[in-house]
Structure 1
């Protein structure tokens, strides 16, 4: 793996740690709250972040990823916590999955980050391009989580 790819994975891990730090002290109850004006909760955002990286890798490679199919109905675009079931991963499960995901992706795909596949609708054709996009997407959801936490805090006052 070249230096540029090592930097990409360090960034992925660093940004992931920001997400995990933001939810470190969130309680199970808080993770389920949907403040007024929001359509999702913290648990949904965490599951969506996890799913999104694998969906885009799958979109580029056309290979099945390790994500169970049920994740799409719980955390896919346009879903909401109303779609959760008893089998939906818990807050703790999602934190563990998110923590290991960067290393899992590095192990599974790190040796083919520059392999070119047929471009997606966004023009991405390498896993490297996917990771750059998903890091940006993760930052958007970090802000959503920060905003949700503010909304939850305001509800308690």
Structure 2
């Protein structure tokens, strides 16, 4: 793995650690709360972050995804906690999935970061480009989680 790819995975792990660190004093009750003027809660944001990386990789590679289908029903674009079912992963389960995800992505796709694919609708044509986009997206949700915590 070249230096640029090492930096990319370091950034992914760093953002993920920052998000997980924000959750240290968050309870299950806190994670479920949807403040007035918000559409989602902390639990939904965690599931969405987890899903987003895999969806973009899948959209690019056209390979079978790494996330069970119901994740899109619970955490996909346009969904909300009102879409949750008893099978929806708990706050604790989502934290665990998020902690494991960077290493799983690195193991599965680390050697394929520059492999060329037909571009996505956003013009991305490598897994490296997808990961850069998803790290940016994760940062947006990090801010949302901070905002949700401030409202509590």
* TM-score normalised according to structure 1 size: 0.96
Partner of 1:92: 92
For 1:140 and 1:151, the matched residues in 2 are separated by 17
Partner of 2:146: 146
2:69 aligned with 1:69: yes
Q: CA deviation at 1:23?
A: 1.1
Q: CA deviation at 1:66?
A: 1.4
> Which 5+ residue runs of structure 1 have no aligned equivalent?
153-157
Superposed, 1:57-136 pairs within 5 Å as 57-136=57-136
Partner of 2:43: 43
Q: Cα deviation per residue 1:61-97 (whole Å; 9 max; x = unaligned)? A: 0001210000000000000000000000001100000
Secondary structure of the residue aligned to 1:121 is coil
The total of aligned residue pairs comes to: 152
* TM-score normalised according to structure 2 size: 0.99
Deviating 4+ runs (over 3 angstroms): none
For 1:123 and 1:31, the matched residues in 2 are separated by 34
Q: CA deviation at 1:151?
A: 0.9
For 2:138 and 2:24, the matched residues in 1 are separated by 16
Superposed, 1:10-49 pairs within 5 Å as 10-49=10-49
Q: CA RMSD of the aligned region, Å?
A: 0.5
> Which 5+ residue runs of structure 2 have no aligned equivalent?
none
For 2:66 and 2:132, the matched residues in 1 are separated by 20
